[in-house]
Chains A and B, each alone.
Chain A
Amino acid sequence: MYAGHPLWPTLVALFARVSTLALISFGGVNTILPALHHQAVNEQHWMTDHDFVSLFALASVSPGPNFMVVTLIGYKAGGVLGALVATFALLAPTSLLVVAVVKVWDRFKTAHWRISIQDGLLPVTVGFVGAGAVLLVRAADNNIAGYLITAAVVVVGTATRWNPLWVFAASAVVGAFGLV
């Protein structure tokens, strides 16, 4: 935000981009992370690559669902109003869809076409989440310490029953000493 520039074009852009992406976020908001990244960093120039992954990390460690990185993107783009517009744009259209479908769900919950769509979309959207992972690792890991932290979370998550929050705490300490 720059003083003197009207805010409303940013708010309109936020609403349009976020609500459109929300309506195609089959499998959750993680699947549209690469598109959010593309819009925020490359298209609209709301933030740098480094800001994007920092905000993603802040949303991950803050209470509340992780998809609320969208709230932080909105804040960075358009202040308090931007945060509110982005959050609303993410939730309102899809919530209305749920309200519309919940009453008729019984009729097609076991329909062949319904299950085929869900099964068919899954691998496509897993690819999107994979792309999101690559983008985040690229933006977050600038040196060997970064890659080691990322790898540590993966190892702890796959091979142990420890809470990954401990690795988060350790990584913040390592980072505070300027090593990452």
Chain B
Amino acid sequence: MTSTPTTREIFFMFLRLTMLAFGGAMGWVYNAFVVKRKWLTDREFAETLSLCQFLPGPNITNFAISVGMRFRGVRGALAAVIGLVGPPTILLIGVGAIYQRLTGIAAIRGALNGLSAAAAGLFVLLVINLLRTLIRSRPVVTVPVAAVSCAAVLSGLLSIPLALLALGPVSIAFAWFRRK
């Protein structure tokens, strides 16, 4: 049995998510929505997630919109998105406002350099995890496609929109014929 949250509950759930989930938001969401609150079944969660990953845009806001809509229509969707991005937007505007002054202080500028190196590492980690996913599923095709797309963008040969247009159809065709 699942229950339906109110608009207010939706807002506060996404507010907590945005404030508490550092990295790996989807694991947190699964635990909160399926395991603890029982607002979604396993199957509903998986189907919603597949929609969010299929469409462009941040997966987590796509998730917020689709479950908000499912529970409480447009009001629910708005409550979810505002809970998720409203407070961080205000916070980051504050960060942006003091950024110039922060970088004027040597120790803070240095700390920021250290954080930048760490944040770059987190992004490399993400690539490693994505590559593991590719290697699990027809790596003979997927790994070379990823390498070509990476090289094309890095070298400046193709912009990201053009690379999607050039490589996307080829790669989709491979996926299409393999599954037939």
Q: A: which residues have CB within 8 A of B? A: 20-35, 38, 53-65, 67-68, 71-72, 75-76, 80, 83-84, 87, 90-91, 93-95, 97-99, 101-102, 105, 109, 112-137, 139-142, 145-147, 149-154, 157-158, 163-165, 167-168, 171-180
| Interface size in chain B (residues, C-beta < 8 A) | 96
**In the complex, per-residue mask of B129-171: 1 if CB is within 8 Å of any chain A CB, else 0:** 0110110010001110111111111100001110110011101
Chain A residues contacting B173 (CB-CB under 8 Å) are 120
Chain A-chain B contacts (Cβ-Cβ < 8 Å), number:
360
- Among candidates A33, A55, A130, A136, residue contacting B150 with C-beta atoms closer than 8 Å: A130
Query: Which of B81, B118, B147, B176 counts the most chain A CB atoms within 10 A?
Result: B118
Shortest beta-carbon distance, A150 to chain B, in Å? 4
B18 contacts across to A, CB distance below 8 A: 63-65
- Knowing A90-B58, A116-B172, A121-B171, the reply to whether A128 touches B153 (Cβ < 8 A) is yes
Contacts of A112 in B (CB 8 A): 176, 179-180
* Bound: A172/B109 CA distance, A: 10
Chain B contact residues, CB within 8 Å of chain A: 18-20, 22-23, 25, 47, 50-62, 65-66, 69-70, 74, 77, 81, 84-85, 87-89, 91-93, 95-97, 99, 103, 106-108, 110-128, 130-131, 133-134, 137, 141-143, 145-154, 159-161, 163-164, 167-169, 171-176, 179-180
Q: Write the nearest CB–CB distance from A136 to chain B, whole angstroms.
A: 4
